[in-house]
Structure 1
Amino acid sequence: MILSGRGVTAVLGPTNTGKTHYAIERMLSHGSGIIGLPLRLLAREVYGRVVERVGAAQVALVTGEEKIAPPGARFSVCTVEAMPRETRASFVAIDEVQLAGDLERGHIFTDRLLHLRGRDETLLLGSGTMKPILQQLLPGITVVERPRLSQLFYAGQKKITRLPERTAIVAFSADEVYAIAELIRRQRGGAAVVLGALSPRTRNAQVALYQEGEVEYLVATDAIGMGLNLDVDHVAFAQDRKFDGYQFRNLNPGELGQIAGRAGRHLKDGTFGVTGRVDPLDDELVERLESHEFEPVKVLQWRTAAFDFASIDALRGSLDAAPRVAGLTRALPAVDQQALEHLAKYPEIKDLATTPARVERLWEVCALPDYRRIAPAQHADLVASLFSDLVRYGTVDENFMAEQVRRADHTDGEIDTLSARIAQIRTWTYVSNRPGWLADPTHWQEKTREIEDRLSDALHERLTKRFVDRRTSVLMKRLRENAMLEAEISVNGDVFVEGHHTGQLAGFRFTPLAGIEGSDAKAVQAATQKALALEFEARAARLHACGNSDLAIGSDGVVRWLGDPVAKLAAGDHVLHPRVILLADEQLTGIARDHVAARVERFVNHHISTVLKPLDDLSRAEDLQGLAKGLAFQLVENLGVLFRREVSDDVKSLDQDARASIRRYGVRFGAYHIFMPALLKPSPAELITLLWVLQNDGMDKPGYGDLIPVLAAGRTSVVTDPGFDRTFYKLAGFRFLGKRAVRIDILERLADLIRPLLQWKPGSASRPEGAYDGRRFTTTTAMLSILGATPDDMEEILKGLGYRADSVPADEAKAFLAGQDANAAPTMGEDAGSAVPQVESEAPGVEATPEGAEAGDVSVEAPAEVVVEDAEANEPKNVLLWRPGGRNESQQNARQKGGRPASEERRDGRRPGTSTEGKNRGNGAKRGDRQERGDRKDRPQRGERDGTPQAARFEAKPPRKEKPVDPDSPFAKLAALKEQMKK
């Protein structure tokens, strides 16, 4: 039945005519009233305005998902769907009645404007396009047309990045909205986002960002056209097509006008235009939008209100009823009708819906909104589950509901994930607000509201984090106000302008953060540089007065002050005097820069002289004379390490007094090296290698900077890299020996272990572990332990030191050792054979280097080359017997011809394979006397220079007169130990 229009007033006009404000004023003038609004978001806004006027106790809020109903409330603010079918309120108002023509929701607005009336006054608010149809359907209606308070002008097409501030950019898909918002964030500091799929709380928070000026742009769907009060100066259409639930279509002029009308508020004019890929609007359409002249609404969507609940089929039939009045058209099936059509096919639903009351309950459940936007069949399944619970148990199964609510109660995830969870929880919020659906509705209303609020806040936070650069937006806001920007620098070097991070100051270098471009960046940079100028002067003064403990030199050659880089070292005129290059911006100038440079240079010189004090003291030694002074000079030039073979003549020429004088400076005469043990410690080793790398441009080569701290970490041996210079390893305190580099002092300890093995005489009372026949030895666990090496590594190390390996079958070696032990006095040592390491084959020969000698005064020169005898291929369980030296030319030729040199034949008939050279080399000389023992007949005499690599050369000298032994010499302790053993 269609009611007349008597007592009904239609207040019509374009946007920004104050219609909603007028309705609120009229409602508050009555004792009671109801106002229906198209959006839950708008209902919330109006509810807040009414509460401010009359107090929360007097106002109710009723939406599909929320219900606030104080006892005795006189006024109700509702969504149109939540408005009652009948009321005794004095006043009724329905906003945005032009939505009665909407294909999806129109039938609800039509029903309310035709049937819902206030006792004293009824207002219908909407567009002027509704005037003809309202006058046709409601005879006698009073129409009041309100003009727009401001003008609307077309501004043409502009690029998104050139749109003016306080612009709302309109698109009709979430992907497009997000893409535009991301572009605005990069270019202009950020944008707020308003989508119809967002929860009201999230949309309110996003709108607040825009309204409060934190961002100057709003990217939204046509949701902003539904009465949201926004301070928008310009509306730009980034799309002009939308999906209306059934198809993609172009927006009609009325819809364009509704959205464009958001520009301009109260008496302030607004503009509209297009952007992106949208073509400019034609002149006719522009004129209609500016003058608000649109085609009138000719028909309203309608659906019967006279439902037949006798059966499901009867209900379906009533929904198919056609309107009997011109100007109304039957609405397309809405979500509730679509759900009913699906459920009518379910046998279990038919079995349950057997009475009018149950059919009515089924229709009530079908009204559940599809917030999740899922397929109709899936939505129908949820409706069926709820209906089944209501019929079977009287209420919805709370265990099922609790599980669904629990799944949605997570605030992790990105925007799309949180949006889906909000849609899910809104479904259960709606269920909790249905009367009689739950046993404990209050609990679930509070629970779902809490979860929705938490999810909404999380979504707002994600949107803001993704689409708003707060630093840039706030700075731009201050710039628009023409205010002087305040800059400050934290103790950690963070630079802030107006409380927002703009860059990082490390030492005297400032690194700005990206994000501010164009003219705004200049103002920010000016404020930053002003603060930096003062900070640079203050830092220069503090650095100039700081102690050495505040400065440090890293393995990368960078000088750091309190952890921040302030300078770097580069090659200088001398390796011990590198150049210092300041790492500072141009703002560090004048006296402040000079103070910084002087302080850093003073620290670098002090650091080098302190860490390398033994080397510095040796370079300044005034008590050294003659050869000792020359040897000291060579040590300083080579940064504390010399190969003994390179200075063997000088060392042999030193007398005991000269040696004692140079030892007092920490110099050690080792078997393989002349070196300063104090420089092998991590700190000096790291500094020495760093200085050498800097002098040789090694920092430009990959790897050196990383290897320096590794070599200086106190390790006894490391795997070598052929790509690095061998001098680098030497200065780090390591000897490059094939695949491994061994620390120099460890090699000297190895020489101390090998020496007694070569000095041992067969048949003596005690055979040391590893000794074989006094001329050869096997590797021992002690050797492997100090080197941190494997047996294979040990083989290469010994070859690198100039030792030669003989391969002897293990059984023969064990038998030989057993015979030696049987001839000797009984000992407590373990079985000699068990200590002999075993390998399968020998490797080819390697270049010889100086070999063992007593650490102190015994000088033994290594041959220039060692040729290693080939072992039989794949010979199992052979023992490697190591001996010093190599072969002369006749021995090598004989070996190449497959024979054995006569010099290798053993008088006692035992297996050949070694020579007496090792014995002679191992015996050495006592207390500095370099006299050869056990000369061989086939050895070339001293002075013969035939070019043949020699196995070993012992330089004999006449006995010297006895001199007092230097108390600092290690031989003083050795002599005392021998005297004690004799006693």
Structure 2
Amino acid sequence: MMLSGRGVTAVLGPTNTGKTHYAIERMVAHGSGVIGLPLRLLAREVYTRVVEKVGVAAVALVTGEEKITPPGARFSVCTVEAMPRETNAAFVAIDEVQLAADLERGHIFTDRILHLRGREETLLLGAGTMRAILERILPGITVVERPRMSQLFYAGQKKITRLPQRSAIVAFSADEVYAIAELIRRQRGGAAVVLGALSPRTRNAQVGLYQEGDVEYLVATDAIGMGLNLDVDHVAFAQDRKFDGFQFRNLTPGEMGQIAGRAGRHVRDGTFGVTGQVRPLDEELVERIESHEFEDVKVLQWRSKALDFASIRDLRASLNVAPSIAGLTRALPATDSQALDHLSRYPEIIDAATTPARVERLWEACALPDYRRIAPAQHADLISTLFFDLVRHGTVNEDFMAEQVKRADRTDGEIDTLSARIAQIRTWTYVSNRPGWLADPTHWREKTREIEDRLSDALHERLTKRFVDRRTSVLMKRLRENAMLEAEISVNGDVFVEGHHVGQLAGFRFTPIAGAEGPDAKAVQAAAQKALSLEFEARAARLYASGNGDLAVGSDGFVRWLGDPVARLAESDHIMRPRVILLSDEQLTGTAREHVLARIERFVNHHIATVLKPLDDLSRAEDLQGLAKGLAFQLVENLGVLFRRDVADDVKSLDQDARASMRRYGIRFGAYHVFMPALLKPAPAELITLLWALKNDGLDKPGYGDLIPALAAGRTSVVADPGFERTFYRLAGFRFLGKRAVRIDILERLADLIRPLLQWKPGTSPRPEGAYDGRRFTTTTSMLSILGATPDDMEEILKGLGYRADVVSADEAAAFLSAQQPAPQAEAADGSEAGDAAAELEAEVAKNEAPSEAAVEAKPAVEQPAAAETSADEQAQANADAAAAEPEAPKPVLLWRPGGGRNENQRTGRPQGGDRRQERRGEGRVQGERGSRENGPREGGRPGRESRRPDGKSDRPPRGERPDRQERGKPSQPARFEAKPPRKEKPVDPDSPFAKLAALKEQMKK
């Protein structure tokens, strides 16, 4: 007989090509259709997907054990065995057609491939190995090959305990599946189990447990290779041999490829490998699986559908007919034919099967599946009982069936007991679904379905309790009995011996769990130590080769590798080179220990040199000489911050070249401090405080580490805690002033605000806010804003900086200010253009002088105080509310002037100030102009040259309240401006902005 493939399309390709999805889309595009699937579990999944598309009333589900048949259903989802022999549907699809080569079920797939057709379209879905055989037996067939949507890679051999999450472990016996699931539960928290012996409901529940993420591992038989859509990233073969119903044999490459192909979903790549006792796959097999190139299927299993029911002998003979088409081979005896062979030997069966109808009824009874996996003779006895009931009474004896169903209707017992009961009730579920076998089939369908569901739920509960919850005593017994125990170390450092958790490995230190006692404790510890020795060597190699990103220095002085402490820092002779103490057990020895220590020391030195680069560069500076080198040494020793009062003489003695060379290393000569602004950032400040604490045993001192969060949050000042170590404030970039600690760079910004107020002269215009008489000033909103302080706090801060307050009544202050009249503006000699040019040059000079960061900011950043502190705006609002509520006399005005302050500045008898004006004058102005400089206090309020009032008296403060810059017995003249031989000035570049500015000013004077 010559078959034709016209109208048949074969959609072939490896797993994860979307074949089943394509078939569903094509089926619902027709008016009616039938699709056959290899597993009841997969049929259930496809049924759900079709229902979502066309509605539950339009879809039927037909399997050997379950029937959902809505009236007028247009689409049928079936197992291949339950597909109709003939159909009038417009569409027919058969999935996993490569199973036609299976020794046990292949003849059923072959029969549907050869004879079942849709009126409009027929699809055959399967592996690419079916192309040649389909084109041979179905001439004219259309073949469409679909590529895999993702790639598959071989990951080699891994122990079960080291398998990645979202892995499926494949085995082929229930005992092996349970043992693997138990091991995974003990080490990784749980695993779902999928076996062919489980009911579809239980399998669905277990798959749901995995799919929903309750467990990260799935232990299953090869059933997962049949089109189940699972989120599996890795497939591991724990066995490579299976029993195919006739013999134990190795898996074929095609079977391995089918199972391994479950890894990866859609466009996400997947991996496969081996585990347990399975040897690594050879390169040729790996290449074939990765490229999906397998041997073509040579023959398909076939059994004649033209059965002769004239007698049992004729039926057996028709079953043994050989195929007449090349490419087909007679199938081995299946379960039904084996049962028929047994029954044909029973005389009572021969006497009863005397007519074709009875022989056909006998063959229908022989089709009962052997769910219980019992001996063929026992299965044949059950079939004979059913056959005699059908022959004698027309239906199965319901009393007998009720007794069998009642035996299975119990939910007590363990996994094996429940599995046996489910197999038994599935037999009667099949009987209740056979047409014409029962007098009341609806009742028994509902009854058996309800019992099977309860048993399935109970089995799912037992499986979850055993393989997901607490560990059982099975592997603990093996742990006690085994002389040679195997230890494993998980990726997160948990140490296991035969699956028993014995301790935690962090870095290179092992901490055993409490209560590890008993007769097996020594063996467990010995196995753990053996594994630790190998692990230490492997970790040492990984650490030595690791990048700096894997290591970190914490504020507690510990060095961590991938989050685990591996060393701690200790004091050494050089504050910038702390000593490294390795934290490891005695198993880390020899070269491995030396490599680890050398790598950590190299990282620590690199970390300090990187984070504290300005300080490191300064410590290595070779272009600094004399006083500059000495000052740089002090700055390094004090980790980047010096009080200017402590080095005032050295700073005054520096010439401009030395200052310029030091500024190139990021040093700023502030009004109150000599410091490096780059070191005020959180990371350098944290490391600086750590290095100081190591050097001075300060890790446990109060206040260590508390200022770093405030600095990282951008706080300009904080409420000072007298109980804290003051040094930490300084190292973190703060300075104690009254009740607050103010950031150093903010103090320099404060000096920038005060300086113009003390330089202003009455009669000139305009009068800056806060300026009074050129010698004194009042606090302004800008000062309060940048400090985040209240007026009371501001008073403490200014006193701490060495300023002295004069109290003036509000009326007197108002009268004085109103009497000040601005002097007329001097018109430029060449008109406003020269004035504009001078202003531009002033701006250019200011730009070229590179002032501090605080000075160049266009608008000072206003830092909000903490919730517990009162901001300047809130304080002002409170004062305004109080004034509105109750009128009171105007408060006196505090006028601040340079003078003998208190606190730390009392030792010098003068406020601390900078000399940036002198530095800039030396850098940017010619010598002849120095005498025309206006007199007044310099940076931070330090008095400058003597200024005379009209009455001839000096405005200079008394000698005890100003810097003593004259020698004893000499006239009170500024020593800096005494007549002395002029210095040889460096030639001035005529194109520089300084020269242009000087020329313009000379022109304006003329």
Taking structure 1 as the reference length, the TM-score comes to 0.48
Larger Rg: 1
